Amino acid sequence: MSVEAPGEATIEDATGGVRSYSVRTFGCQMNVHDSERIAGLLEDAGYVAAVDGDDADLVVFNTCAVRENADNKLYGNLSHLAPVKADRPGMQIAVGGCLAQKDKDTVRKRAPWVDVVFGTHNIGSLPVLLERARHNDEAQVEILDSLERFPSTLPARRDSAYSGWVSVSVGCNNTCTFCIVPSLRGKEVDRRPGDVLAEVQALVDQGVLEVTLLGQNVNAYGQSFADPETPRNRGAFADLLRACGTIEGLERVRFTSPHPAEFTDDVIAAMAETPNICPQLHMPLQSGSDRVLRAMRRSYRRTKFLGILDRVREAMPHAAITTDIIVGFPGETEEDFAETLDVVEKARFSSAFTFQYSPRPGTPAATMPDQVPPEVVTERYQRLIALQERICLEGNTALVGTEAELLVVADEGRKSSSTGRMTGRARDGRLVHFRADSRSQVEPGGIRPGDLVTAVITDAAPHHLIADAGVLTHRRTRAGDAHEAGTLPTTPPVGVGLGMPSIGAQPVPESTSACGTGGCS
């Protein structure tokens, strides 16, 4: 490593060239956002992104521990890289994220060629651990039991020119019996509202049009502020949504995921009354059986869940509501599963993330009696999929003939050489494959990811819509300019750690410090 001024160091490979990196991400949106932080750290340390991931001098796996196949996928990838690493002196492999936090010793036993193992609480240590492993020619394993600072206090290299993730909190205070996340991410700690808004503003200043607020339970935001000078506020999340509505240039705001037990009417009102909050809500059901919900320690029941959906649709009739459902939780009977199907029929979800239950070591559900036989789980799963596919198609078909505003996206859908279709995401989150014909109102230079178009829906499928009648309007955006130029946003560290001032901490810009009356500062 060459020694230069801070922020200007370069990491050299075995031939004296700049070392390249590739980050491979498994799991949820939180992991995707953490990978942006990992990329930002590595680039600050002098690495450059690899064009081809397999040819990278450093491969980082950011892992998930929620489902069993995540383990298999990781170790399959590590086995693939073992001979590659053997043939490339100086190549390094690092494993981080939730699986590393849970199984730090197992990773090294099953893949002794891994150079660094780090956890969810010490992402910022990665560059130092890599250099120590290289200098000492010895693997480095460092897992911390608690978070030292918010990931937002780390630099980030963003994945998209037009859409960005912003964490409002880390960790979770719930005790769902099937979930291992609280033991890996820790108790919930909330960022100061001014810090969240400053990060949103930093993205918008670089042309980003759409922001998604992230948290394991976003609507619990405001009850666990790390900063002792920020008062506890049950209405803080609704205040935060309204404050996002005051940021000029921010056209779309989404959030994920809330918890039904703590979802309140002030959040519904803020969504309905704030123009840039998208009419989309992800509301995890998990099961439609009250008996199973109790066994899961989900502190709501089916009646409350359906009541939330009714109030959301009363305030926003065209809102798209998505969900998570687990099939085959221990002790689930045919009657329990029938109740889930009944809720799904009543709820009319626009889409559902459905999972066949698999035991995760370290969770209470893994040792519960009456584990459902795999063949029964699979059969129920297929019935649920068939029902939800029908509901999705019916919901999408009802939109044929309506007009939609689309944020043009890259790599999320398909562009057919025969039809010339591109893909956009509607304000309610649905994917729309659209075509611009000779009559379309397209600005000179063509349509780019990051631009905004409007089109009429002409056909429907369960998981997407079609708009083949041409584009009605096209607006070129700064995000489209950035995508065309190959420029991605990079955000500097935002905030002051876990609420405690640090030397050299940057003040929050005044223009982003207000958040209604909810104690934002």
Specify the CATH class of 151-398 in words.
Answer: alpha beta
Residue from 152, 127, 128 nearest 34 by CA: 152
Q: CB atoms < 10 A from the CB of 374, how many?
A: 12
Q: Helices then strands (H, E): number in the chain?
A: 14, 23
Residue from 276, 392, 399 nearest 345 by CA: 392
In order of 164, 238, 480, 498, the CA distances from 209 in angstroms are: 8, 20, 10, 28
Sheet holding 163-167, edge to edge: 163-167, 210-214, 252-256
Name which of 201-210, 218-227, 427-436, 455-464 the model is least confident about: 218-227
Task: Specify the DSSP element, H or E, that contains 97.
Answer: strand 92-97
Helix (H, G, I), strand (E, B) or coil at 510: helix
C-alpha torsion sign, points 252, 280, 158, 498? positive
* The domains spanning 20-142 and 151-398 adopt the same CATH topology: no
pLDDT of residue 36: 85
28 is in an annotated binding site: yes
Report the distance separating Cα 487 and Cα 15, nearest Å.
Answer: 28
In order of 92, 171, 211, 412, the CA distances from 166 in angstroms are: 29, 14, 7, 20
Specify the CATH class of 402-484 in words.
Answer: mainly beta
- The reply to whether omega before 257 is within 30° of 0 (cis) is yes
515 is in an annotated binding site: no
- Give strand pairing partners of 320: 280
Where are the domains positioned within the chain?
20-142, 151-398, 402-484
Residue 507 confidence (pLDDT) above 50: no
Percent of the chain, pLDDT > 70? 87
Q: 74-87 pLDDT, tens per residue? A: 889 999 999 999 99
Report the distance separating Cα 6 and Cα 165, nearest Å.
Answer: 27
In order of 117, 167, 175, 325, 387, the CA distances from 354 in angstroms are: 31, 25, 21, 5, 12
Specify the CATH class of 20-142 in words.
Answer: alpha beta
244 is in an annotated binding site: no
64 is in an annotated binding site: yes
Rounded to the nearest angstrom, the gap between the alpha carbon of residue 235 and the centroid of all alpha carbons in its chain is: 23
Residue 500 confidence (pLDDT) above 50: no
Which amino acid is present at 333? T
Q: CB atoms < 10 A from the CB of 514, how many?
A: 15
Residue from 268, 282, 273 nearest 237 by CA: 268
CA atoms within 13 A on the CB side of 199: 30
* Mean pLDDT confidence for 408-425: 75
Could you tell me which residue, 4 or 401, shows the higher pLDDT? 401
Q: 8-27 pLDDT, tens per residue? A: 445 656 555 788 999 998 87
C-alpha torsion sign, points 284, 290, 295, 299? positive
Report the distance separating Cα 70 and Cα 55, nearest Å.
Answer: 23
What is the chain's Cα-based Rg? 23
Predicted TM-score (pTM) of the model is: 0.81
179 is in an annotated binding site: yes
Q: How confident is the model at residue 157 (pLDDT cuts 50, 70, 90)?
A: confident
Give me 181's structure tokens: 């996340």
Helix (H, G, I), strand (E, B) or coil at 41: helix
Could you tell me which residue, 151 or 61, shows the higher pLDDT? 61
Give, as one character, the DSSP assignment of residue 47. Answer: -
Give Cβ neighbours of residue 179 (< 8 Å, ≥ 6 apart).
Answer: 66, 172, 363
pLDDT of residue 3: 30
Cβ neighbourhood burial of 188 (10 Å; 0-12, 13-18, 19+)? buried
Give Cβ neighbours of residue 75 (< 8 Å, ≥ 6 apart).
Answer: 110, 111
Given a contact cutoff of 8 angstroms between Cβ atoms, the answer to whether 337 and 331 are in contact is: no
172 is in an annotated binding site: yes
pLDDT of residue 511: 32
pLDDT of residue 13: 60
Give Cβ neighbours of residue 315 (< 8 Å, ≥ 6 apart).
Answer: 268, 269, 271, 272
